């Protein structure tokens, strides 16, 4: 049958109208998908994998130790439906672009997705794209330049995953068998725990020494205000005032002494801006300046990176937040220098400021910086939450400041001599006052949350040598020497980085795992090991010293980097570690006596329900008392920590209603209402009054020991109020 030309034309039109297949872009999170979808238009579909869809099972080791440590991957429980949807979307697409994060974990996610999609749709082209920031320009550039999967980066992630699985799934069963069910051990976490426990031992062993300082208010005719200065020299030596009596003696000698300016020194200093943030520096600064935990910092940074609605547009406000580099792209340098030229032209250096990348840095990503320097913190106030704005502000300030001129300061130090009047003025005591004046603000002009002490310090009045002064009033103050500080999020991250333990992506999870397992608790932002944490750390340190050795762990990190650089075969690296490690695990399993039950301690206390003796046991949240008649009697109660100074009863840990904040009160409540917000120190009684000793904390003195009795002056700060 002949086909008319008209019908042929209609068929061609129908074929021409057939829509082209869309390109599927797969990212990790819905927030990121939402941002990127706005940039790419109708030809693209953007879906989220929600992290790993394929991983090792949790129920078993799933590592073939006899055949190159090949991992046995499965679809993550509860994620099969999503994986099937993505496979279906890929089948209907003309091309698939895998856009997971540009790091080891992201590369592994892309690798698993490629394999899973290829198994169902062999003819669909699958490519990898990566970017450092979520902006229209960066996304379009990435889409226009797709590449393949970085197999070396995948191998590095696989090696880390296998290594951590071998350590955890060998040590944890050993702890269950020898110590207590439900315990676990990890490679990097165990090293961090050891550091925290060793520091705690130093804190506990430290004995504070008493010392005093002496300040004085001086009056001069040249200014209406008093000058507060501190005694820095007494009879030619640095004053070592051990008691109030010594201070009182000096005050008596200087009460009516002749005083005059004996020396004035001026020192000019050039202050350079700090480099832009790396992950660890951002976490440390956010902890110190904003009071953020490392986990919170990374959560807020993730929000800023993935995209925030700014009016009608949606934009990623910072570059990728997991990096160990201070490198800045050429385009970003041009943009920030243009902004400085328009807003602070006098503080624009002739050439861009360059910062050296650390020797241990992988330098895979740029430093953390704002994607658009035009988005100043002030311009974003109405669009960001309080936490987002504060974190964005320090990122923006640090980056912008790093490309501005140095600041210059002048410090004036004035020595005031105080001594007996006579023919030749002889100063027995030297009091010193110092003040700093900013000569040139430079980069400090853009700092608000990151403003330095130099910028905030007051200047001193204009005085000359021999100008007379009068000591109006003396102020003596008691102090106690401070022991080593406990680790905080900021300081443990700094230590881990300095020792080469972990990488930018692991700092926050390491701290979180220790807290979740209750090996460590937070107290006044300090990381304090629990009894359980100390026990686990002690056992691992004794029987597996290599596993918890900082230098050894750092070496393993370096080898993982070499795997990513294609310098080392990952199965060989794992074999070198695993064989001696497994032999040690087997040996300890045979020879180590079980700790189970050995920690149980019979007490003289009696169960108030059945009359049987109470046993001291170790639980997930520390020691507690349990009835020896278990399981017939399931009575438990808290361990007595001290004797109540009011009624002689037991002081135990209690928690407030609602927020569950811990405090310490008498077990005889409500008959006795004694409470303390400070934790009693075990077996430590005040030698002066007999009340129990506690560990106190205040911003001025940090953590320090003291008597709980407000009327007792033994190791008791004069500025503390009654907290009991």
Confidence at residue 716, expressed as pLDDT on a 0 to 100 scale: 46
Q: Under CATH, which architecture does the 279-401 domain have?
A: Orthogonal Bundle (1.10)
Tokens of 688: 């002066």
Mean pLDDT, range 345-370, rounded to an integer: 85
Mean pLDDT, range 541-567, rounded to an integer: 92
Parallel/antiparallel/unpaired status of strands 54-55 and 44-48: unpaired
Confidence at residue 685, expressed as pLDDT on a 0 to 100 scale: 84
pLDDT band at 711 (very low <50, low <70, confident <90, very high): confident
610 pLDDT exceeds 70?
A: yes
DSSP3 helix / strand / coil % (the chain, rounded to 5):
35, 25, 40
Judge whether 320 counts as a catalytic residue.
yes
Residue 123 CB-half CA count within 13 A:
4
Number of H helices, E strands in the chain: 18, 29
Give the least confident one: 251-260, 627-636, 696-705. 696-705
658 pLDDT exceeds 70?
A: no
Mean pLDDT, range 16-42, rounded to an integer: 86
User: Exposed, middle or buried by CB within 10 Å (0-12, 13-18, 19+), for 539?
Assistant: buried
Q: Which residue is catalytic, options 39, 44, 73, 320?
A: 320
Confidence at residue 721, expressed as pLDDT on a 0 to 100 scale: 33
User: Are 416 and 432 within 8 A, CB to CB?
Assistant: yes
CA angle 717, 718, 722 (to 5 degrees): 80
* CA 299 – CA 32 distance, rounded (Å): 14
597 pLDDT exceeds 70?
A: no
577 φ/ψ angles, rounded to the nearest 5 degrees: -85, -45
Domain range annotation of the chain: 20-149, 157-205+485-591, 210-272+407-480, 279-401, 600-637, 641-724
Q: Under CATH, which architecture does the 20-149 domain have?
A: 3-Layer(aba) Sandwich (3.40)
* CA 137 – CA 133 distance, rounded (Å): 9
Spacing of C-alpha 75 from chain mean position: 32
Confidence at residue 720, expressed as pLDDT on a 0 to 100 scale: 36
Please count the other Cβ atoms lying within 10 Å of the Cβ belonging to residue 633.
15
Confidence at residue 427, expressed as pLDDT on a 0 to 100 scale: 82
The 3 state secondary structure assigned to 221-236 is: CCEEEEEEEEEEEECC
Which of the residue ranges 127-141, 415-429, 698-712 has the most confident prediction, judged by mean pLDDT? Answer: 127-141
398 φ/ψ angles, rounded to the nearest 5 degrees: -65, -40
pLDDT for 299-348, tens place per residue?
Answer: 999 999 999 999 888 999 999 999 999 999 999 999 999 999 999 999 99
399 pLDDT exceeds 70?
A: yes
Confidence at residue 624, expressed as pLDDT on a 0 to 100 scale: 83
Q: Report which DSSP code applies to 338.
A: H
User: Are 44 and 115 within 8 A, CB to CB?
Assistant: no
User: Exposed, middle or buried by CB within 10 Å (0-12, 13-18, 19+), for 334?
Assistant: exposed
User: Are 520 and 196 within 8 A, CB to CB?
Assistant: yes
Which of the residue ranges 16-20, 361-365, 632-636 has the most confident prediction, judged by mean pLDDT? Answer: 632-636
CA angle 95, 98, 102 (to 5 degrees): 150
Give the least confident one: 367-376, 381-390, 687-696. 687-696
pLDDT for 669-691, tens place per residue?
Answer: 888 988 888 888 877 888 888 88
User: Are 408 and 439 within 8 A, CB to CB?
Assistant: yes
**Percentage with pLDDT > 90 across the chain:** 62
Alpha helix (H) ranges present in 101-146? Answer: 104-120, 136-144
Which residues have C-beta within 8 Å of that of residue 619, sequence separation ≥ 6?
A: none
The residue among 173, 175, 158, 150 whose CA lies nearest residue 71 is: 158
DSSP codes joined into one string, 144-172: HS-B---HHHHHHHHHHHHHHHHHHHHHH
Higher pLDDT, 64 or 365: 64
The fold of the 157-205+485-591 domain, in CATH, is Topoisomerase I; domain 2 (1.10.460)
The residue count of the chain comes to 724
Mean pLDDT, range 526-538, rounded to an integer: 90
User: Are 25 and 39 within 8 A, CB to CB?
Assistant: no
Tokens of 77: 């429980």
pLDDT for 252-271, tens place per residue?
Answer: 999 888 899 999 999 999 99
Q: Is 561 helix (H, G, I), strand (E, B) or coil?
A: helix
User: Are 320 and 307 within 8 A, CB to CB?
Assistant: no
Task: Assess if CATH 2.60.120.620 describes domain 210-272+407-480.
Answer: no
């Amino acid at each position: 049958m002949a086909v008319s030309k008209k019908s042929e034309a209609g068929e061609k039109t129908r074929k021409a109208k057939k829509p082209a297949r869309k390109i599927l872009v797969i990212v990790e999170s819905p927030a990121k998908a939402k941002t990127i979808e706005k940039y790419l238009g109708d030809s693209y579909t953007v879906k989220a994998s929600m992290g790993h869809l394929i991983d090792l099972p949790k129920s078993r080791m799933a590592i073939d130790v006899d055949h190159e440590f090949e991992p046995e991957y499965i679809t993550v429980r509860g994620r099969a439906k999503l994986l099937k949807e993505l496979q279906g979307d890929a089948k209907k697409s003309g091309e698939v672009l895998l856009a997971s994060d540009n790091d080891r974990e992201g590369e592994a996610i892309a690798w698993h997705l490629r394999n899973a999609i290829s198994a169902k749709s062999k003819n669909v082209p699958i490519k990898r794209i990566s970017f450092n920031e979520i902006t229209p320009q960066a996304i379009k550039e990435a889409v226009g330049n797709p590449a393949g999967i970085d197999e070396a980066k995948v191998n590095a992630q696989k090696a880390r995953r296998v290594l951590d699985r071998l350590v955890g799934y060998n040590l944890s069963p050993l702890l269950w068998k020898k110590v207590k069910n439900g315990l676990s051990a990890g490679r990097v976490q165990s090293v961090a725990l050891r550091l925290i426990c060793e520091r705690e031992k130093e804190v506990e062993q430290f004995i504070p020494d008493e010392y005093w300082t002496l300040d004085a208010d001086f009056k001069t005719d040249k200014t209406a205000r008093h000058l507060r200065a501190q005694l820095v020299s007494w009879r030619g030596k640095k004053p070592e005032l051990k008691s109030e009596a010594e201070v009182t003696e000096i005050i008596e000698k200087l009460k009516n002494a002749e005083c005059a300016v004996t020396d004035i020194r001026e020192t000019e200093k050039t202050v350079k801006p700090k480099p832009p943030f790396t992950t660890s520096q951002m976490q440390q600064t956010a902890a110190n300046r904003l009071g953020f935990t490392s986990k919170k910092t990374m959560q807020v940074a993730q929000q800023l990176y993935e995209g925030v609605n700014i009016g009608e547009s949606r934009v990623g406000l910072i570059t990728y937040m997991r990096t160990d580099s201070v490198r800045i792209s050429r385009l970003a340098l041009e943009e920030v220098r243009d902004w400085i030229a328009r807003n602070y032209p006098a503080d624009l250096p002739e050439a861009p400021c360059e910062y050296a990348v650390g020797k241990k840095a992988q330098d895979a990503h740029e430093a953390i910086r704002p994607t658009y320097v035009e988005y100043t913190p002030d311009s974003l106030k109405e669009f960001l939450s309080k936490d987002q704005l504060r974190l964005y502000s320090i990122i923006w300030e640090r980056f912008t400041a790093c490309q501005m001129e140095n600041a210059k300061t002048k410090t004036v130090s004035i020595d005031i001599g105080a001594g007996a009047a006579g023919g030749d003025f002889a100063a027995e005591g030297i009091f010193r006052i110092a003040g700093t004046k900013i000569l040139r603000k430079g980069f400090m002009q853009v700092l608000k949350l990151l403003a330095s002490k130099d910028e905030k310090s007051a200047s001193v009045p204009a005085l000359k040598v021999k100008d007379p002064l009068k000591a109006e009033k003396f102020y003596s103050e008691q102090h106690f020497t401070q022991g080593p500080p406990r680790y905080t999020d900021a300081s443990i991250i700094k230590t881990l980085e300095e020792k080469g333990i972990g990488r930018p992506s692991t700092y926050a999870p390491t701290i979180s795992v220790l807290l979740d397992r209750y090996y460590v608790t937070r107290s006044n932002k300090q990381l304090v090991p629990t009894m359980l944490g100390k026990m686990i750390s002690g056992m691992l340190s004794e029987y597996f010293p290599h596993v918890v050795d900082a230098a050894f762990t750092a070496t393993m990190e370096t080898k993982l980097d070499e795997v990513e650089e294609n310098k080392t075969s990952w199965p060989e690296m794992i074999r070198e570690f695993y064989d001696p490690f497994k032999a040690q695990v087997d040996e300890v399993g045979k020879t180590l006596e079980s700790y189970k039950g050995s920690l149980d301690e019979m007490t003289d206390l009696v169960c108030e329900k059945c009359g049987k003796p109470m046993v001291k046991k170790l639980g997930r949240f520390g020691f507690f008392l349990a009835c020896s008649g278990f399981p017939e009697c399931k009575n438990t109660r808290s361990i007595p920590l001290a004797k109540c100074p009011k009624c002689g009863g037991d002081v135990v840990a209690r928690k407030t209603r609602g927020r569950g904040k811990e405090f310490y009160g008498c077990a005889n409540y409500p008959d006795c209402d004694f409470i303390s917000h400070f934790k009693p120190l075990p077996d430590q009684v005040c030698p002066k009054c007999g009340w129990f000793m506690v560990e106190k904390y205040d911003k001025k003195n940090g953590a320090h020991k003291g008597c709980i009795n407000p009327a007792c002056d033994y190791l008791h700060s004069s500025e503390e109020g009654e907290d009991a």
